[in-house]
Structures are given as C-alpha cells and as structure tokens.
Amino acid sequence: MWAELRGKLSATTSLERAERWEDVLTSSVFGTLRYLSDDVLCACLRAARNLRGKHLAIADDTAWDLDFWPNRLGWVREPDVVVTGRDRFTSAVRQLVVVEVKYRSGKSNRTDASTLPEDDPVCPARVSGDQLSDLLEDARREVGASGVHVSVVYLTAHLTMPTEQLQESVAALADASKSAADEIYWVGWMELDRVLARCRSEASGPRQHLAALDDLRALLQRRGLGYFSARWPSVRQPGPWLFQTPMVASPPTGWRWPTDPVAGAGWRFDRVLPVGGRLLWPVAIPHLEPNWRFER
C-alpha cells in the first residue's frame, strides 16, 4: 500500500512493473481489512446489495478468515478473496462469501471449458462461462448440503449497480430462479469508502486501528475510488435562486439563478445565460448505467 501512497506506483506505471492493478488493489485493501476488527469487515460486506435491493445479511457474532487467490480443489475459477465466516464461540463455519474485485475491467467471461483443471470432476456442461455464476457454483459445490450460506460479492467502480451484468450472471446459473438472484451481490468502491468513513468516525480503538482506516481511505482517494463530498461558503443572506417544480408535490426539475453572481457567495457559475442561468435535469434520474457523472 505504501508504495502506491508514496507515488512509487502510479497510474502511469506499466502493468508489468505493477503486476495487475486489480491484484495490487485487492491485496492493499483486503490485506489491511484482515488485520482490522471483524466489525469493519462486517460493515463492508453488509453494504453489498442484490438485484432485489436486499443487503447481505451478516450475523454480529461472526469471525472472519480471508483467503487470497486460493487454489481450491474442484473450483473452475480462481477467486480473488474467499471470506469464511465462523461462529465466534463455536468456530463452526456458517457463511462463505466470494469477493470478485474489479478496478478498470469487467467480468472475465469465457465461452468454453478449455481452462478446466486436469482430472477435474466438474462436468464442462455445468460451466456457464459467466465469471460470477461460475464462482457461485464453485462455492455451492464446496459447501454441499452442509447448510453453509454462500454468496458472491461483485466489487466494482460503477457509480450505480451494473444491473445488466448481475442479471446475466443470474440467468447463467443452473437454477436461474428468484432465490438464485439473492446470492449474487454488488457493492461499489465509493460506497465502500463511505462505510470506511463511518467506521473511522465511530472508531475508538488503538491508534494503529485508526491509522489503518485513514490509510485505506487515502488509497481509495488516490485511485479515484473515494466518494465525493464538497463544501462551499454559505451565503449570509438568502440567495435569489430557487428550485423549480411543475407541482408542489413533484420533485424539483431545475435550478435557476440570477445573471449577476450572488454577492459574497464565494462561488459563481462559469457560464451565465443572457436572461439568467438555468440548470435542468429529468424528474426521474436514470438509475441504470447513466450517461452522466460528476467529475472530481
């Protein structure tokens, strides 16, 4: 992590020198989470949502083990991180979470079973080619009928849930049902940063614990994966701008301001229309793959 925070690794560093950026990011973030309290990892996992909007259920008394790029017998895919949840008192395994980490790439799908391990008992017909679907099937085969709950968390840089990608993964499962849709989750890096910020504000542990949370957030900010927040000077007197709505009960559809900048506001719009400025947006803000975003 410190090699990147100190500029030894940068966005211009070749993939050969920095290995693969996703692997570096995975190692830095989850390698640090491994040494923090279980409550922090629980909070990060609970931020994940499935297609039905349900958050990943995590019991409070769960202790976690993290396994990085494990070579697990019988698995078709190599997972980035396998998180095993155990009962804190009995050590019995109760949950298996497979985390697939993405930075600048999408799912690593494939259309054939040519990369199956030799002498693997898995029938190639059961290999869907969809990365998330294959990972979930791998985890299911491992736990069998033990009753251990399995799920896949897709961690990406999307600003909103990549619904189409998750739908493709659910459809690729052998039992593409509503219950199957509950086992594939998504969380964005920016949401993870918000969780870490909340954990940091509520933390009261040792100095090393607080420093690790600060370092994690600094790393995400450096990668451009931190959530955006901004403050600007407040206007002492009410400014002559307003939200305009078609009806009282409707959401705002635009924002108007005068041609002349507000005196003493400390900010201004770069472009001012001759008859006053106006910024409009749709009533229903797009949720799926929007074609707009905020620039930092």
Mean pLDDT to the nearest integer, 58-84: 90
pTM across the whole model: 0.70
Whether pLDDT at 120 is above 90: no
What pLDDT digit, counting tens, does each position of 147-198 carry?
A: 899 999 999 999 899 999 999 999 888 765 556 778 999 999 999 999 999 9
The pLDDT score that the predictor gives to residue 100 is 95
pLDDT given for residue 32 in this prediction: 92
What are 87-115's pLDDT values in tens digits?
888 889 999 999 999 988 888 876 555 45
Place 117 in a pLDDT band, splitting at 50, 70 and 90. Answer: low
HEC assignment per residue over 188-214: EHHHHHHHHHHHHHHCCCCHHHHHHHH
Q: Identify the band that residue 260 occupies on the pLDDT scale cut at 50, 70 and 90.
A: low
Nearest residue to 193 (alpha-carbon basis) of 210, 167, 218, 173: 218
End-to-end CA distance of the chain: 23
**How many Cα neighbours within 13 Å face the side chain of 19?**
7
CA separation for the pair 196, 41 (Å, rounded): 9
Q: Judging by DSSP bridges, how do beta strands 184-188 and 149-156 pair with one another? A: parallel
